Amino acid sequence: MKAPLQSRQQIPRQRILERIRAATLDCAQDPAMREEAYAALPRAYTRHGQLSAEARLKLMIERLREYDAEVVETTPEALPDAIAAQLAASDKHSFLAPPGTPSEWMVTAAWKISGLEWTIDHGLATAEIEQSEGVVTAASCGIADSGTIVLHHSASEGRRVLSLLPDWHLIILRASQVVETLPEYFARFQQPSGLVTWISGPSATADIEMTRIKGVHGPRFLNVILVRDKS
Amino acid sequence: MNYSHAELDPRKALPFPKAVLPVLRNPQLRKNVAHAIDVIQTKRARLVAEKDDWQELRTAASAIRAHALENLGAYLEQFEERCTAAGGTVHWAADADEARRIILDLLRQEKASEVIKIKTMTSAEIQLNPFLEANGVSAFETDLAEIILQLGGEEPSHIVVPALHVNRSQVREIFARRMGLKNLSDDPKELTNAARTYLRQKFLAIPTAISGANFLIAETGSVAVVESEGNGRMCLTLPRTMITLAGIEKVLPRFQDLEVMLQLLARSATGERMNPYTSLWTGVTAGDGPQSFHVVLLDNERSSILAKAKQRQTLKCIRCAACMNACPVYRQTGGHAYGSVYPGPIGAILTPQLMQMKFAQSLPYASSLCGACYEVCPVKINIPDVLLELRAQVVNQERGRAARYFDPMYVGLRVANLLFAKAWLFHVAQRLGRIGLGLYTRKDGWIHSLPGIGAKWTQTRDLRGLPDESFHEWWAKRGSQPGKEGK
């Protein structure tokens, strides 16, 4: 099926690349020079933040709250209880978790709250995910400067659809994962995973008269537990 | 009911000065545009001011984009290789027609009669939706602004907030009529909820999606989409098949380059530190998202723009719309008068170039050359410079035409050319002009109305009458009365 389309594609491909080559005769570089030119590009912007660890976390929390996300802080020991408290306060009953979720998170939570339904995603159908009201995931990084949380969709962060369809998303972010600037994130993750989602607050729109409205298609509620795993 | 009757095909659009007239006579539309622009501008100014390294970020972004364009062939081939290795299929389209056909072929292979779409101006550029409709495929826009436009039969007037010319009560009217919601109020929250409900089933049911791309990453073969609502994430995650349409200029050399672009883009576009969602994906990922992924790389005259050293910078654009938000002309007119899906200052340079300077020649003149667009541009496109270059090309086109011998402007310029060449002729003309204009000068020293072609000036503003003596005359007199200036 695909072969004829592929071969038909060869003609425009060559034509376009030839046009581009002709257009950039004055400036295109050979691979070694291109590497060198790339390395020499001006990058005088701020790469490393100046804040203390404490101030960095404070900024992260402040930024998240500006986006209307709810943030609580806890210690590693008290994390399962903090999760349970968040679930109880959410007024939701059916929750999802990615397959890599630490079991103690759920055991404690389920034990504390009656009538709570946990489903672990071992290849759930979309309709099943759509039926769930909330989801709990880990994250890869927090960026304080813009209040951004980054998911790389590992086993503990879950497939993309998992943190998309439920209306309520609880993210467990460790303090050691929080950097101050966006360049610090890129320094930390030079080899990106194939899938990355940068989340800055709950889904929103400003398409009607530039009024920011929370919650269009993504989760309308973003909750974050910040775990103080090192000082 | 249409709030405006715009024609966004530059081949058919009226010249800017004519197209702008209905807008200037529509106070509601002008109020909507001005309100939205003022809100964005205030937010942007605040967030840019808090960034100490804003200028350094602009310098870096400009250099990265220029470098990517200078080596575009190599970076595109690298992107193609990595994307293909990750399970994607890359298609190349020389023009709009080829792109539309490739997309339709892919949809036919999928036996798709419906498709969901993430907002993409590139698809509007190639007029994809009407083409798909004509071929039996219904395209559903999923961005809130695009739904408003699609359901209301409207055209986009801005590249980031395309429905910025429509206010909440107009949105209420469109939604109530097209979604059958009689009791809908004009509370933006309620309107947004109506859109959420309307689209939820479409997201879950339609297995094919079309997106644009904010960035293509050569190093990894990844695509990045920047959005707010989550409709993008829905389209990128739920369908079986994903088709991404991207201009060839969208490529960035490396993943790390996003550290510059993402800091600039949201602040410039919507006045936020970061937009709610940015998604990056690489080919296909087993068990997560579409298992069939196609990228259509669109040239459509971009390689011609690339060939011209001065105009090449047009392609650095990352479509943030800061230039239109800052433009004093756009603020008065909104986007429709530009007769293109790309309005504002960037549209004024991009559109005529995409049309090989055969259409939209009035657009390079739709500017006061104040330079506000250049000042806010996150990738430092010198738009006024390109505008001047394009104006020169338009003048050159007109040189050979017989009509220019009768055009009042060219007649005037030729007369001026004669007069300015000889001092005595200039002085004679000055005296005659003083006598002539004196007839129309009122006691307050101003001319309030002129006949004939002069009326074009005086119907919108007054003209200062000529003074009783010229500088030359004053200077000559001064020479005979030394010391009078009080040395």
User: Is residue B85 in a domain?
Assistant: yes
> Per-residue confidence at A110, pLDDT binned at 50, 70, 90?
low
User: Is residue A47 in a domain?
Assistant: no
Task: Say if residue B421's pLDDT is above 70.
Answer: yes
Q: Distance (Å) from the C-alpha of residue B267 to the closest C-alpha of chain A?
A: 10
CATH classification of the domain holding B104: 3.40.50.10420
Share of residues in chain A with pLDDT > 70 (%): 94
A20 with A67, same domain? no
A117 with A92, same domain? yes
Task: Say if residue A30's pLDDT is above 60.
Answer: yes
In this predicted structure, what is the pLDDT of residue B5?
47
B482 vs B62 pLDDT, higher one: B62
> Per-residue confidence at A104, pLDDT binned at 50, 70, 90?
confident
CA-nearest of A196, A197, A218, A214 to A205 is: A214
A35 with A58, same domain? no
User: Is residue B455 in a domain?
Assistant: yes
B147 with B290, same domain? yes
**Is-contact B218 B76, C-beta < 8 A?**
yes
A103 with A20, same domain? no
User: Is residue A45 in a domain?
Assistant: no
In this predicted structure, what is the pLDDT of residue A207?
87
**End-of-domain residue from the set B304, B333, B359:** B304
**Domain count of chain B?**
2
Q: Which of A28, A44, A146 sits opposite B59 (nearest CB)?
A: A44
Task: Say if residue B20's pLDDT is above 90.
Answer: yes
| Residues paired with residue A198 on neighbouring β-strands, in sequence order | A150, B278
CATH classification of the domain holding A62: 3.40.50.10420
B154 with B274, same domain? yes
B238 with B94, same domain? yes
Q: Distance (Å) from the C-alpha of residue A110 to the closest C-alpha of chain B?
A: 28
In this predicted structure, what is the pLDDT of residue A8?
56
In this predicted structure, what is the pLDDT of residue B482?
60
User: Is residue B436 in a domain?
Assistant: yes
Q: Domain limits at A174? A: 53-227
Task: Say if residue A70's pLDDT is above 80.
Answer: yes
Average pLDDT, chain B: 93
Q: Is A52 an 8 Å CB contact of chain B?
A: no
| 3 state SS of A58 | helix
Question: For an interface test with B, which of A8, A16, A222 has the most B Cβ atoms less than 10 Å from its Cβ?
Answer: A16
| Residues paired with residue B252 on neighbouring β-strands, in sequence order | B217
A175 with A72, same domain? yes
Task: Say if residue A194's pLDDT is above 80.
Answer: yes
> Per-residue confidence at A1, pLDDT binned at 50, 70, 90?
very low
* Yes or no, beta carbons of B167 and A183 under 8 Å apart: no
Task: Say if residue B335's pLDDT is above 60.
Answer: yes
**End-of-domain residue from the set B304, B338, B372:** B304
B127 with B257, same domain? yes
In this predicted structure, what is the pLDDT of residue B151?
95
In this predicted structure, what is the pLDDT of residue A210?
80
A101 with A14, same domain? no
pTM, full prediction? 0.91
Give A-chain residues touching B233 at CB under 8 angstroms: 160, 164, 197, 217-218
**End-of-domain residue from the set B275, B304, B333:** B304
**Domain count of chain A?**
2
Least confident of B17-21, B31-35, B190-194, B406-410: B406-410
**Is-contact A49 A179, C-beta < 8 A?**
yes
Nearest CA in chain B to A191: B255
> Can you tell me which residue has the tokens 């004509």?
B134
Share of residues in chain A with pLDDT > 90 (%): 77
A187 to A178, B55, B223, B280, B319: CA distances (angstroms)? 13, 21, 20, 17, 26
- Model ipTM value: 0.94
Task: Say if residue B183's pLDDT is above 60.
Answer: yes
In this predicted structure, what is the pLDDT of residue B4?
44
Share of residues in chain B with pLDDT > 90 (%): 87
B289 with B424, same domain? no
Q: Domain limits at B454? A: 407-480
| Residues paired with residue B306 on neighbouring β-strands, in sequence order | none
